[in-house]
């Protein structure tokens, strides 16, 4: 069942937007005392990696999300560079979302670190005063349960609540009082409005429109002419502070896809075909985990020159059959020239359903007989054997038989460097081992917050960023300046 708030104009600022501050980086700092107060960059560490999140301390050097990692390293050579640990972040996110759902049944998660809440639907607030109190309480609860900080925006609609939380960052709360919306919004850049990215922003700027007020002055017809029907109407409404989009819980998934960017462009056609098969199999695993099937198979190819093309094929009915999806992806690849080399390949499935159509095996056979010779369907792609040497990824937690809990600071040339510390400890010491050291093993992340023995299910004690004696005075986190 899909729950959503009624799409109506409301007056009270009872839509709450929560945004955790520089979430991945903050979580890493909380779990690793030696990184607190230091520049931390989380993202892909390969030659083509980009920054997922940068801590406030790293942003001082100009590092922001979506920036190529190589550029970040030049700007902040002494920062700690870590790979994302999504399972760890998800566990923290689950705790935060739990707190939000205690406020209202209408919680709309946007990502691991962001969500809208309709406070009125949960009877958690009905006017400015009660909304502010709910926001203050929520921030306290998040801090107590996770040890992390989040920023809260409160307004009468989703757009303004999101803008408010942006203004509240880092570690704050902003409530937009009813009646003040347009005055506040007017002087802001058009890029403040959701849906206005670099392309639309440029388009509007060329038409002499740079502020929200100027959007309102331009009029609806002119906006439709400039940016199209749907976007034009939406933009005009937002410029007048009108946004009646409801908070929607349990949004349905529309598509499932996987993609890989390769460290080095692939030129070998056979290798490209093998990679597409692997991606198709991974996509099927994701589909099946979600108990879904789909009708439309999409192949994505990014070529050596970064030009990206997609090819898609719609089947007669939904499927989660690996052979059918693999074959469709292979057929789509047949129509793509990859001679210059490819840097990214992706396979996706859309047109989702929660059932499959039985005659798809027949459909696969039919397509096969019409096409060229193919390998038999149903055979799993042979995966490359796992490397013999153990992989120690920077930032991941480990346990040593004698020295206890720590995390990988770096590895290479048969050595792995580990810092031994826990969320509750002082910054720890560093030791280097052989990568095949039998005393060293991967470990699960430790909780950031220690539960009081007598507390039962009640409040917990933060062991991470909130302690008075951990050198965090003035420590602030924030989103990593995502400029997109």
Partner DNA sequence: TCTGGGGTCCTGGTACTA
Partner DNA sequence: TCTGTAGTACCAGGACCC
Give me 81's structure tokens. Answer: 């560079």
Q: Which CB sits closer to DNA, 124 or 256?
A: 256
260 near DNA (CB under 7 A): yes
Separation between Cα atoms, residue 124 and residue 452, nearest integer Å: 27
Q: Which stretch binds DNA (CB under 7 A): 128-136, 195-203, 422-430, 467-475?
A: 195-203
310 near DNA (CB under 7 A): yes
Q: Which stretch binds DNA (CB under 7 A): 105-113, 180-188, 401-409, 427-435?
A: 105-113
Q: Which stretch binds DNA (CB under 7 A): 197-205, 269-277, 379-387, 390-398?
A: 197-205
- List the one residue from 195, 340, 414, 471 that touches DNA (CB under 7 A): 195
Query: Is 114 one of the catalytic residues?
Result: yes
Least Å distance between CB 143 and DNA?
A: 20
- List the one residue from 235, 258, 408, 462 that touches DNA (CB under 7 A): 258
211 near DNA (CB under 7 A): no
Give the orientation angle of helix 23-31 with respect to helix 86-103, to 10 degrees: 110
Contact criterion met (CB below 8 Å) for 278 and 287: no
**Three-class SS of residue 94?**
helix
Give me 297's structure tokens. Answer: 């198979």
Contact criterion met (CB below 8 Å) for 126 and 14: yes
Q: Which CB sits closer to DNA, 229 or 452?
A: 229
454 CB-near residues (< 8 Å, 6+ apart): none
320 near DNA (CB under 7 A): no
- Rg over alpha carbons for the chain, rounded to the nearest Å, is 25
Least Å distance between CB 73 and DNA?
A: 10
317 near DNA (CB under 7 A): no
**Three-class SS of residue 278?**
helix
Residue 272: CB atoms within 10 A of its CB come to 19
Least Å distance between CB 196 and DNA?
A: 5
Q: Which CB sits closer to DNA, 111 or 180?
A: 111
Omega before residue 170 within 30° of 0, cis: yes
Residue in the structure block whose two tokens are 């960059």: 41
State which of positions 279-298 bind DNA (CB under 7 A). 286, 295-296
Q: Which CB sits closer to DNA, 34 or 200?
A: 200
Set 108, 114, 181, 275: catalytic member: 114
Q: Which CB sits closer to DNA, 80 or 112?
A: 112
Max CA-CA distance within the chain? 72
State which of positions 361-420 bind DNA (CB under 7 A). none
Contact criterion met (CB below 8 Å) for 178 and 187: no
Q: Which stretch binds DNA (CB under 7 A): 27-35, 139-147, 191-199, 432-440?
A: 191-199
Separation between Cα atoms, residue 162 and residue 192, nearest integer Å: 10
- List the one residue from 60, 70, 133, 401 that touches DNA (CB under 7 A): 70
Separation between Cα atoms, residue 257 and residue 263, nearest integer Å: 20
Least Å distance between CB 51 and DNA?
A: 8
The two counts, helices (H) then strands (E), for the chain are 14, 21
Residue in the structure block whose two tokens are 């020239």: 337
Separation between Cα atoms, residue 212 and residue 238, nearest integer Å: 9
State which of positions 220-239 bind DNA (CB under 7 A). 228-232
- List the one residue from 211, 257, 356, 466 that touches DNA (CB under 7 A): 257
- List the one residue from 306, 369, 382, 412 that touches DNA (CB under 7 A): 306
**Binding footprint of DNA, residue count (CB under 7 A):** 58
- List the one residue from 11, 180, 314, 391 that touches DNA (CB under 7 A): 314
Contact characters 325-354, DNA, x per CB under 7 A? ----------x-------xx-x-x-xx---
Detail the DSSP E strand segments found in 354-484.
397-400, 404-412, 415-420, 429-434, 440-442, 449-450, 461-462
**Phi, psi values for residue 392, rounded to 5°:** -115, 105
- List the one residue from 254, 264, 270, 457 that touches DNA (CB under 7 A): 254
Separation between Cα atoms, residue 468 and residue 424, nearest integer Å: 12
Least Å distance between CB 257 and DNA?
A: 4
Beta strand pairing status for 173-175 and 150-155? parallel
Positions marked active-site:
114
Q: What residues make contact with DNA under the rule CB under 7 A?
A: 44, 47-50, 52, 65-66, 68, 70-71, 110-111, 113-114, 162, 194-201, 228-232, 253-261, 286, 295-296, 306, 308-314, 335, 343-344, 346, 348, 350-351, 482, 484
């Amino acid at each position: 069942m899909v729950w959503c708030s009624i799409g109506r104009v409301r007056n009270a600022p009872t839509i709450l937007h929560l945004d955790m501050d520089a979430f991945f980086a903050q979580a890493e700092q909380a779990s690793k005392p030696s990184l607190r107060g230091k520049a931390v960059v989380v993202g892909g560490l390969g030659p083509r990696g980009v920054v997922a999140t940068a801590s406030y301390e790293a942003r001082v050097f100009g590092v922001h999300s979506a920036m190529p990692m190589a550029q970040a390293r030049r700007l902040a050579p002494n920062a700690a560079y870590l790979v994302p640990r999504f399972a760890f972040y998800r566990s923290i996110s689950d705790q935060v979302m739990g707190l939000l759902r205690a406020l209202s049944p209408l919680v709309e998660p946007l990502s691991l670190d962001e969500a809208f809440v309709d406070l009125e639907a949960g009877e958690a607030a009905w006017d400015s005063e009660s909304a502010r109190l709910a926001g203050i309480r929520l921030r306290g609860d998040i801090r107590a349960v996770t040890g992390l900080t989040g920023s809260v925006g409160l307004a009468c609609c989703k757009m303004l609540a999101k803008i408010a939380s942006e203004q509240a960052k880092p570690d704050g709360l902003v409530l937009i009082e009813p009646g003040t919306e347009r005055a506040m919004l007017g002087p802001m850049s058009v890029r403040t409005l959701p849906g206005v990215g670099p392309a639309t922003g440029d388009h509007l700027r060329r038409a002499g429109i740079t502020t929200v007020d100027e959007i309102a002055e331009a009029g609806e017809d002119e906006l439709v002419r400039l940016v199209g029907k749907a976007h034009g109407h939406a933009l005009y409404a937002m410029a007048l502070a009108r946004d009646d989009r409801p908070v929607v819980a349990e949004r349905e998934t529309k598509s499932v896809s996987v993609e890989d960017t390769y460290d080095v462009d692939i030129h070998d056609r056979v290798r490209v075909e093998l990679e597409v098969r692997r991606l198709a199999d991974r996509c099927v695993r994701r589909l099946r985990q979600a108990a879904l099937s789909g009708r439309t198979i999409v192949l994505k190819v990014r070529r050596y020159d970064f030009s990206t093309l997609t090819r898609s094929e719609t089947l007669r009915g939904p499927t989660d059959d690996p052979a059918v999806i693999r074959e469709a992806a292979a057929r789509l690849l047949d129509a793509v020239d990859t001679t210059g080399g490819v840097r990214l390949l992706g396979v996706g499935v859309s047109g989702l359903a929660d059932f499959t159509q039985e005659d798809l095996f027949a459909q696969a056979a039919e397509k096969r007989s019409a096409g060229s010779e193919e390998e038999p369907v149903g055979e799993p792609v042979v995966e490359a054997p796992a490397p013999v040497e153990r992989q120690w990824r920077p930032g991941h937690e480990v346990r040593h038989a004698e020295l206890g809990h720590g995390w990988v600071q770096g590895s290479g040339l048969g050595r792995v460097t580990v810092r031994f510390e826990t969320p509750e400890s002082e910054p720890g010491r560093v030791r280097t081992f052989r990568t095949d050291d039998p005393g060293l093993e991967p470990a699960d992340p430790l909780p950031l917050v220690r539960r009081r023995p007598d507390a039962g299910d009640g409040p917990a004690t933060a062991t991470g960023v909130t302690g008075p004696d951990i050198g965090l005075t003035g420590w602030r986190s924030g989103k990593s300046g995502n400029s997109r």
